[in-house]
Amino acid sequence: MTNKMKLKELSDMLQDLNVESLEGVTIEGDIELNISGGGGLNPALAYALGNEISQISLHMANIGRMLGFPAEQLFASAFGMGEMPQPGTLPSQSPKIQELLASKFEVSKIDNWKNSIQEVTLGATSADGGSRKSTVTLGGENALPYYFDAPMPHRNYITMDVFDMPIGMAKAVKGNYEDVINDPAEWAKKVVRDFNADMVTIHLISTDPLINDTPAKEAAKVVEDVLQAVDVPIVIGGSGNPEKDPEVLEKAAEVSEGERVLLASASLNLDYERIAKAAIDHGHVVLSWTQLEINAQKELNRKLMKQCNVPRDSIIMDPTTAALGYGLDYAYTNMERIRLAGLMGDDELTFPMSSGTTNAWGAREAWMVSSPLKQDSDWGPREYRGPIWEIVTGLALSLAGNDMFMMMHPTSVQVLKEITQTLYGSIEAQEIDISNWIGAEV
Amino acid sequence: MKINSPLEAYKFLPATNCGECGEATCMAFAAHLIDRSKKLTDCTPILQDKFKKKFEELDQLLAPEIREVEIGVGEKISKIGGDDVLYRHKLTFFNQTKLAYDVWDTMDEKDLVERVTYIQDFRKFYVGNFLTVDMVAVRCTSNDPKRFAAAVKKVVQTTDLPIILCSFNPDVLKAGLEVAKDRNPLLYAANRDNWKEVAELALQYDVPVTLFAPDDLDLLKSMAKTFAEMGTEKLVLDPGTFPTGKQLKQTFSNFVKVRRAGIDGDREIAYPIMAVPFTAWMAHDDPVSASYWETVVASVFTIKYGDIMILHSTEPYAMLPQLHIRDTIYTDPRKPVMVDPGMYKVGEPTADSPVLVTTNFALTYYTVESDISSNKIDCFLWAIDTDGIGVEAAVAGGQLTAEKIRKGIEDAGFDLKKDTTHNTVVIPGLAARLQGDVEDATGANVMVGPADSGRIPGWMEKNWPPQNK
Ligand code: SF4
């Protein structure tokens, strides 16, 4: 009984003491500690101390056994499966822990995302005065994309580019369109039928006075052809010429009356009022385009709403897409800030967003045969580099809150759809056991 | 970081305004501490004994929310973690995501050395620097400690890059550690079954260790808490990277949750996170699809909080976008990227070569530079100091003016009349309206180039050499 008390004292003492400050320690057979002096506990001393203590515990265990207690079992379980620590192992100063400490993971939802993003529908079926077979609804989010804080009401959509005349394209892109390059209607059909485009964008670039100066009226015919050729919602783009675009988009809006197209685009450097009016008069949606500047985006949205009376459900924003490696950092953060501001209550920024992801093809990494720099490692085949450039550019922006993507390469479209819809939660796949991935044969 | 105003940091500083830190006042230094552009140890006076308590308190307050963990030694040491924010525009992200590429111990020795060398040497020039990858992950596919040790040894002999030792078998990890212990490798990984033995190894060899708890955040946190209790906070968390379907969506949620909890102040889970896009190879047989999907998964977790990742595809079409998306996310959004203003020779210009003007906005400069050099045009390229603003905005904002152009050329000691045969300057198309002013300021002929530097070669064909002198 006396011995038992002293042992407990011993262990308490060892715990309380900072072992490093012990110097001379001797242990007598009757289990008494004599501690004196200051200084370090050297390994030899530690070993001797350990040895003494072990001897004592063996001695005590024997007593235990004599009293009929199954002491061996206690030892076995204490040291794990009956293995005694190997002699020579350095004594670890860290506490031995036999079971994982319990801890429950908890995280709170964001509490200042109080505002919903505006829902905007593109396309109109016969029930609503149009001739589209299906419509596309963007927006409605209450959280950053794919976050657990709130379900995302609509998936991302992809609209594929069609041009009203042959244009210069990266080789990897061009190969897909050579058969339809002179026929926008066939081109539109092809992207929907073969490449699974959700929508089609017809770019009326030949209207540019510096290109063909195609009259607005003629360009509108191409729009009619495309509307005939496909039954998905469409986007109508001008040439980017600020003098000519208002007229071109007015005519296009007129001939697509009731189809709820997206007019691309209104910007601060052209007569946005005319484009807004065309949208209101014919029941379309306006793309509000600014260049990587959140305050300019607010200003243009405000003008469209307050000055031009465009309804909230008829505005989509394009805050500009820069390619991976060519300013995507600005484009990403600009979109992320816009979306966060919208969620936190800035009513001038609560609109769905669209990205001209095709811009990724401007990066030389996407289209050049090889690096112009000798010091670079080999860039590998460009037919694989191009599509992934477009994918990663779009993917980054999808995570920043972008809803709709304007794209060009069929592989890019397919892969971006796969990843955005996976994160959205609509892709089923066979479950994969990764618990032993290290040994995987690849 | 537990404080967010310079005033709160200032209270702990010596308040002598001695200037040792390179700032005029303690208050100015405090502001740099808050935006993390200076380290507390830059204030040498506070390191004195009498300030010990204040130093320690402030050091604690300034510590980033997510712990920093070091892997490797010497020049190639890699730091991961250390973040304070969830969105880059709120400050910046620190310690860019480290990219580790795998080798495995059942590989042929020659192939292994070749692969490690390729990983080590891979580089891509960008904005004045080379983008490179960071680490080698050695996977044990043999489950044989000896074989693993031999492979690790080869890697150690071949490269200085930091190493990740990958096995769930503690004996294998121990064998690897014996060979690589001087290199401070990262252990991968402790899991539900082996954690006791792996913890022992991590403590005994004093190396960082990854905790692997696929889709089980309670287990992950329990392990982190237990390891910390046992004496190590050099931890990396792997919540599992499932490559497809709903499992991938869940993985995405897990990454967001772990990082949010850490930034919100839950110290028990505030460690760097590991992603393993490698698992894409378990879902795709065809190497191109696997490489593509791996790159896609890697991009997602570069953007959303992965601090380190293990990858397999060394195809340039996988590595190049990975390097660039990493750079995109970790570029400090507070600093305009600039090159030093001055005159740069592209190719081997002579007195007949054109003199082109551009800005010192790095993106503009390097785009122009590579447009010219890739077309083998010899010229003088003049980067005018516009405070790192692009041509169009700089003309509008007054950072690019005729006077600036004149001064820029003069400062470089270049004399258009003597050093060229044509006494001509070509200004960017987007700066066309400066033409007359530049003529007056420099006394040179001024030609207006194209608006897009991609059209310089075509423009040169038509316009160079200049017709009328
Ligand atoms: S070195 Fe320290 S004490 Fe001196 S000015 Fe800087 S912050 Fe103040």
Residues A102, B318: C-beta atoms closer than 8 Å: no
> Which one of B7, B12, B21, B32 would you pick to mutate in the ligand 1 pocket, going by the greatest count of ligand atoms within 8 A of its CB?
B21
Q: Is residue B300 one of the residues assigned to a domain?
A: yes
How would residue A28 be classed by pLDDT, with cut points 50, 70 and 90? very low
CB contact (8 A) between residue B318 and residue A146:
no
Partner-chain residue, chosen from A395, A427, A437, that has the shortest CB–CB distance to B278: A437
B21 CA → ligand 1 middle, Å: 5
Token pair listed for B407: 């001064």
Q: How many domains does chain B have?
A: 3
CB distance A105–B221 less than 8 Å?
A: yes
Q: Tens digit of pLDDT for each residue in A194-251?
A: 999 999 999 999 999 878 999 999 999 999 999 999 999 999 999 988 899 999 999 9
Q: Looking at residue A74, what is its pLDDT?
A: 62
CA distance B231 to chain A (A): 6
Q: How far is A368 from chain B (nearest CA, A)?
A: 10
CA angle (A350 as vertex; A345, A353 as ends), nearest 5: 145
The answer to whether the beta carbons of residues A399 and B240 sit under 8 Å apart is no
Q: How far lies A403's CA from each of A203, A228, A318, in Å? A: 20, 26, 10
Segments making up each domain of chain A, as ranges = 1-19+42-89, 120-424
Amino acid identity of residue B302, one-letter, is T
Q: What is the DSSP string of A193-246?
A: HTT--SEEEEE-GGGSTTTT---HHHHHHHHHHHHHH--S-EEEE--S-TTTHH
Are B49 and B74 in the same domain? no
Best to test chain B binding among A369, A418, A437 (most B CBs inside 10 Å): A437
Contact A440 B231 (CB under 8 A): no
The pLDDT of A168-178, averaged and rounded, is: 94
B130-142 pLDDT tens trace: 999 999 999 999 9
Reported as a pLDDT band with limits 50, 70 and 90, residue A396 is very high
Which residues are bridge partners to B129 per DSSP? Answer: B126
pLDDT at position B110 is: 98
Say which CATH number the domain at B26 has.
1.10.15.40
Tokens standing for B369? Answer: 């530079």
Q: Which atom of ligand 1 is nearest to the CA of B16?
A: 3
Res. B218: pLDDT tops 80: yes
Residue A376: which of B125, B232, B299 has the nearest Cβ? B125
- Tokens standing for residue B32: 């740099």
Query: Please, which residues have CB within 8 angstroms of residue A153's CB and are 6 or more apart in sequence?
Result: A119, A137, A139, A140, A141
Which residue in chain B is spatially nearest to A441 when comparing CA positions? Answer: B141
Residue B336 placed within a domain: no
Report which of B110, B326, B69 is spatially closest to residue A325, judged by C-alpha positions: B326
The domain spanning residue B349 has which CATH number? 3.40.50.11600
Q: Does B350 score more than 80 pLDDT?
A: yes
Assess whether pLDDT exceeds 50 at residue B442.
yes
| A78 to A51, A71, A82, B190, B378: CA distances (angstroms) | 18, 11, 8, 22, 78
pLDDT confidence band for A1 (50 / 70 / 90): very low
Whether B122 and B161 map to the same domain: the answer is: yes
Query: Under an 8 A CB cutoff, do B214 and A325 touch?
Result: no
Residue B383: the pLDDT is: 94
Q: Looking at the partner chain, which of A324, A379, A432 has a beta carbon nearest the beta carbon of B242?
A: A432
Residues B369 and B269 in one domain: no
Residue B226 falls inside a structural domain: yes
Distance CA B442, CA B404 (A): 11
Question: Do B204 and B305 lie in a common domain?
Answer: yes
Mean pLDDT of chain A: 86
Same domain, B361 and B292: no
B321 touching A (Cβ < 8 Å): yes
Q: Are residues B17 and B128 in the same domain?
A: no
pLDDT at A49: 63
Q: Does B414 touch chain A (CB under 8 A)?
A: no
Do both B123 and B27 map to the same domain? no
Q: Which of B7, B11, B18 to mutate to test the pocket of ligand 1 (most atoms within 8 A of CB)?
A: B18
Q: What is the pLDDT of residue A56?
A: 66
Closest CA to B122 of A377, A385, A379, A370: A377
From CA A179, how far away is CA A191, in angstroms rounded? 12
| Helix B456-463 and helix B362-373, axial crossing angle in degrees, nearest 10 | 60
Q: Specify whether B150 is located in the same domain as B247.
A: yes
Same domain, B315 and B421: no
Which amino acid residue places its CA nearest to atom 2 of ligand 1?
Answer: B43
Residues 367-396 of B with CB under 8 A from A: 367, 370, 373-374
Report helix angle A294-302 to A328-343, nearest 10. Answer: 50
* CA A202 – CA A191 distance, rounded (Å): 12
SS3 A265: strand
- Distance, CA of A312 to CA of A338 (rounded, Å): 16
- The pLDDT of residue B452: 74
Compute CA distances B376 → B370, B379, B461, whole Å: 9, 9, 13
Counting residues of chain A whose pLDDT is more than 90, the rounded percentage is 71
The minimum-distance atom of ligand 1 relative to the CA of B46 is 2
Contact B447, B463 (CB under 8 A): yes
Q: Give the domain range for residue B232.
A: 68-330
Tokens of A411: 């592989």
Q: Determine the average pLDDT of the residues in B429-446.
A: 92
Q: What's the pLDDT tens digit per position in A325-353?
A: 988 999 999 999 999 999 999 999 999 99
Q: Is B29 in the pocket of ligand 1 (CB under 6 A)?
A: yes
What's phi and psi for A19, nearest 5 deg? -50, -30
Longest dimension (CA), chain A: 110
Q: Is the CB of B47 under 6 A from ligand 1?
A: no
Helix runs in A17-111, H state only = 43-66, 71-78
Give residue B395's pLDDT. Answer: 79
What average pLDDT does the segment A375-396 reach? 96
The CA R_g of chain B, rounded to the nearest whole Å, is 27
Among B41, B62, B83, the domain-final residue is: B62
Query: What is the Cα–Cα distance from B357 to B380, expressed in whole angstroms?
Result: 8
Question: Are B138 and B259 in the same domain?
Answer: yes
Residues 134 through 163 of chain B touching chain A, CB cutoff 8 Å: 139-141, 143
Chain B residues within 8 A of A434 when measuring between CB atoms: 214, 240-243, 276, 279, 282
Task: Name the residue facing A103 among B225, B230, B373 (closest C-beta).
Answer: B225
CA distance B385 to chain A (A): 20
Instruction: Quote the pLDDT of residue A30.
Output: 43
> Cβ of A47 under 8 Å from any chain B Cβ?
no
Together in a domain, B188 and B323: yes
Q: Is residue B255 part of a domain?
A: yes
Q: Are residues A428 and B260, on separate chains, in Cβ contact within 8 Å? A: no
From the number of C-beta atoms within 10 Å of its C-beta (0-12, 13-18, 19+), residue B450 rates as: middle
Residue B57 domain-assigned (yes or no): yes
CATH architecture of A120-424: Alpha-Beta Barrel (3.20)
Put simply, the answer to whether A438 touches B166 (Cβ < 8 Å) is yes
Alpha carbon B292 to its chain centroid, in Å, reads 22
Q: Report the residue of chain B nearest A368, measured CA to CA.
A: B374
The 10s digit of each residue's pLDDT in B79-95 is 999 999 999 999 999 99
Say how far apart CA B10 and CA B25 lie, in whole Å. Answer: 10
Report the pLDDT averaged over residues B437-443.
93
- The pLDDT score that the predictor gives to residue A94 is 62
Token readout for B143 is 């489950």
- Is the torsion defined by CA of A44, A49, A53, A58 positive or negative? positive
- Per-residue pLDDT at A44 exceeds 60: no
Q: Is the peptide bond before B137 cis (omega within 30 degrees of 0)?
A: no
User: What gap in Å lies between CA B279 and CA B404, rounded to an integer?
Assistant: 54
Q: Mark B407-417 as b/e (b = at least 16 C-beta within 10 Å).
A: bbbeeeebebe
Residue of A nearest to B257 (CA): A107
3-state secondary structure chain B: CCCCCHHHHHCCCCCCCCCCCCCCCHHHHHHHHHCCCCCHHHCHHHHCHHHHHHHHHHHHHHCCCCCEEEECCHHHCEEEECCCCCCHHHCCCCCCCEEEEEEECCCCHHHHHHHHHHHHHCEEEECCEEEECCEEEEECCCCCHHHHHHHHHHHHHHCCCCEEEECCCHHHHHHHHHHHHHHCCEEEEECCCCHHHHHHHHHHHCCCEEEECCCCHHHHHHHHHHHHHHCCCCEEEECCCCCCHHHHHHHHHHHHHHHHHHHCCCHHHCCCEEECHHHHHHCCCCHHHHHHHHHHHHHHHHHCCCCEEEECCCCHHHHHHHHHHHHHHHCCCCCCCECCCEEEEECCCCCCCCEEEEECEHHHHHHHHHHHHCCCCCEEEEEECCCCCCHHHHHHHCCCCHHHHHHHHHHCCCCHHHHCCCCEEEECHHHHHHHHHHHHHHCCEEEECCCCHHHHHHHHHHHCCCCCC
Mean pLDDT across the stretch B260-288?
Answer: 97
SS (H, E, C) A377-392: CCCCCHHHHHHHHHHH
pLDDT at A88: 43
Residue A81, Cβ density class (10 Å: 0-12 exposed, 13-18 middle, ≥19 buried) = exposed
Task: Report whether residue B40 contacts ligand 1, using a CB cutoff of 6 Å.
Answer: no
Q: Provide the pLDDT for residue A69.
A: 65
Strands B98-104 and B308-311, sheet pairing: parallel
Q: Which residues contact A293 (CB under 8 A, 6 or more apart)?
A: A334
pLDDT tens-digit readout, A425-435: 999 999 999 99
A389 close to B (CB below 8 A): yes
Residue range B99-123: average pLDDT? 98
Contacts of B232 in chain A (CB under 8 A): 94
DSSP 3-state of A89: coil
Q: Does B347 touch chain A (CB under 8 A)?
A: no
- B318 and B226 assigned to the same domain: yes
DSSP state, residue A110: P
Model confidence, pTM: 0.83
Q: Under an 8 A CB cutoff, do B89 and A333 touch?
A: yes
